[in-house]
Structure 1
């Protein structure tokens, strides 16, 4: 997608603070963090939202979740706890239509919702 900001970040056209990368997943620090640790985890393949997952591309979810585990360990929040959040659709707060997960932690979050 030529106009997708996450595709541009993945392709190196827009700078980011990379946290993790494999051949299928790219993760970087959110530029407007909602928590002390706030990382976005995105598949390298452009998938607009969770609704666009299919039998052909759903395997990337395994890679996203394994990435979340590794990133949480790497950033020291795996033991204290974190959230893994996906906003699906405009009414849920999705503003970039490229499937992504927010990994947030580093503080007691209680019932706060990102």
Structure 2
């Protein structure tokens, strides 16, 4: 999509600090981190929400989760614990409507959030 910020990051039109790339997903640092490690993992293909991606292409959703775990390994938080969050819809706090997984870690993460 031409007006999607994350599609522009995938295309290389908007700069981002990329930490991982695969043929199906891109991972980059969040510009407003909420934890010492805060990386977004997005599919290269545009899908507005996690629910829509799950319905359209469950294998791509699985690829995003695989990349999220690889980010945790690369960042050194896989052994101590990390959180993967998909905000789906405005009421859940989704502000960019290109599905993305937040990988958060590097400190204790209390539950419940927010």
TM-score normalised to the size of structure 2? 0.94
Structure 1 unpaired stretches of 5+ = none
Runs of 4+ in 1 over 3 A off after TM superposition: none
1:41 maps to which residue?
A: 41
Q: What value does the CA root-mean-square deviation take over the aligned residues?
A: 1.3
1:25 aligns with 2:37: no
1:46-85 matched pairs, under 5 angstroms: 46-53=46-53, 56-85=56-85
Distance change >3 Å, CA 72–CA 54, structure 1 → 2: closer
**CA distance, structure 2, for counterparts of residue 42 and residue 5 of structure 1:** 11
Which protein has the bigger helix share? Answer: 2
Residues 42 and 99, structure 2, Cα contact 8 Å, conserved in 1: yes
Structure 2 unpaired stretches of 5+ = none
SS at match of 1:59: helix
SS at match of 1:42: strand
**CA distance, structure 2, for counterparts of residue 6 and residue 13 of structure 1:** 10
1:84-103 matched pairs, under 5 angstroms: 84-103=84-103
Distance change >3 Å, CA 26–CA 107, structure 1 → 2: same
Tell me how many residue pairs correspond in the alignment. 114
Distance change >3 Å, CA 91–CA 55, structure 1 → 2: closer
1:106 maps to which residue?
A: 106
